[in-house]
Structure 1
Amino acid sequence: MLPTHVLAGTLLAAPLVRVAPELAPIGFAAGFLGGLFPDLDMYTGHRKTFHYPVYYSVLAIPATLAALLSPSAVTVAVALFLLGAVLHSVADMYGGGLELRPWEGNSDRAVYDHHRGEWIAPRRGVRYDGAVEDLALCVALAVPLLLLVDPPLRGIVIGTVVVGGVYTLLRRRLAEMASTMLSLFPDALDPYLPERYR
C-alpha cells in the first residue's frame, strides 16, 4: 500500500542523519516522493505508466554515485527520489496482483516490465495491498523513522501509519463499495475506467 511505499522510500535517507545531517531533510522528502511517485498512475495504466522496475534501477545507479561523490541537495534529492521509485516498483512484484480484489489471487499481473515488454507475475510475499502483513511492514518501517526524524517530520510518519491503518481496516469494504458504485455508472463510461474495475 502507498503508506508502506512512502515510508520505505523515506527510510532510505536514514544514513544521511549520521554522514550529512544537513542533507537529511531533503533526503527524507525525496525518498518519500520517490516512494509515492509510481502510484500517480493509479487510475491510468496502474503499475505500468509510472512503474519502471528496470529503468528506475538503471537511472538510480549513476544518480547514487553522483550523490556519493558530490553530495549536494540536488544530487541527494535525485538519487533518493529514484531509489524510492525503484523500491516501490520492485516491491510491487512481491505483493498481490493487479485486480480489484487481489486476495482472490486471480491476476497474473503485478508490475509491467517495459524492458522486456511483459507483465511480471505477483509473488504474493505480501498477499495484497492493505493486508495485515502490509500494515505490519508499514509500522516496522515507521519505528526507526520516528527515532531519527525531528517533530515536524515525525507527525508525517505518524499520519502515514494512521492512513495505512485505516486503509487496512477498510480495504475489503472499499473493493465492495467500488463494485457497487461502478454498477451504477452508465455503460458508456466503461472504456474510461481502469481495467481492474471492469
Structure 2
Amino acid sequence: MMLPTHVLGGMLLAVPLIRVAPELAPIGFVAGFLGGLFPDLDMYVGHRRTLHYPVYYSLFAALALFAALVAPSTVTVAAALFLLGAAVHSVADMYGGGLELRPWEGNSDRAVYNHYHGTWIAPRQLVRYDGAVEDLALSIGLSLPLLYLLEGPLRQIVLGTLVVAAVYTVTRRHLAELAARIIPYAPDSLSPFLPDRYQDDNLKQ
C-alpha cells in the first residue's frame, strides 16, 4: 500500500485518545503518523525487509500499549502509537502487491519479510498494488473521521496527505515506466543504491 494510506492509518489509531485523554491526543496523532511512515524509510535499503517487522513491531506495540494504559504519559503514549503505526504498516503490506517495478503484473512472491520465520510473506493483493484506485479509496476512507475530528495543523496534514495520495495514484504507472526507461542509463556506481526491483525489471527489458 502507498505511504499516505499507512500514515493516515497510523493517525487513525490515536482517535480514542480524544475521549479518554484529550491532552495526549496531539502527540498520539503525530506519533501514529510517524509510526506509519517509519517502515518505508527502507525504500532504498532492502525495502520491506530492513525496517519492516510485522511480528516484532506487533509484540512491542502490545507491550507499549500496556505501559500506556498503566502509566499514561507523553512518552508512553507516543511510544505506543509509534509502534502501533509501524506494526499496522508492516502487517498491512502483506495485503498489497509484491516487490516489483510493475506490481500490477503480479509476478513477485515477496510482500514483506517475516524476520521471526526468516522468510518472505507472499502478497495477498486485496489492494492490487500501491497507488491502485482501491488504495486511494482506502486513504479517503481513513481520512474522513480524521477530517471530522481534527482541526488546525493536524487537519492540514491529513488534507496534504490526501493530495499526495491522489497525485501518486494518477501518476503511479507512469512513474514505473519512466523508471524503466531511465535505469538503463544510470551509471554503474549507482547500482548498489538502486532497489532490487529496478534492477530485476531492467534485466527483463
Cα deviation, 1:83-137, whole Å, max 9, x if unaligned, reads: 0000000000000001110000000000000000000000000000000000000
Structure 2: where are the runs of 5+ without partners? 200-205
**Quick check: 2:8–2:142 contact (8 Å CA) kept in 1?**
yes
The yes-or-no answer on 1:125 pairing with 2:126 is yes
Of stretches 24-33 and 176-185 in structure 1, the one that deviates more from structure 2 is: 176-185
2: CA distance between counterparts of 1:177 and 1:171? Answer: 10
Superposition pairs of residues 37-116 of structure 1, within 5 angstroms = 37-116=38-117
Superposition pairs of residues 1-198 of structure 1, within 5 angstroms = 1-198=2-199
Q: Displacement, 1:151?
A: 1.9
> What RMSD, in angstroms, separates the aligned Cα atoms of the two structures?
0.8
Cα deviation, 1:139-186, whole Å, max 9, x if unaligned, reads: 000000011111221111000000000000000000011111101113
Identity of aligned residues (%): 72
2: CA distance between counterparts of 1:68 and 1:133? Answer: 35
Q: Which structure 1 residue ranges, 4+ long, deviate > 2 Å from structure 2?
A: 186-192
Partner-residue secondary structure (3-state), 1:112: strand
1: CA distance between counterparts of 2:45 and 2:36? Answer: 18
1: CA distance between counterparts of 2:177 and 2:42? Answer: 22
Aligned residues: 198
TM-score, normalised with respect to structure 1: 0.98
Q: Displacement, 1:188?
A: 4.7
2: CA distance between counterparts of 1:189 and 1:31? Answer: 34
**Quick check: 2:45–2:193 contact (8 Å CA) kept in 1?**
no
TM-score, normalised with respect to structure 2: 0.95
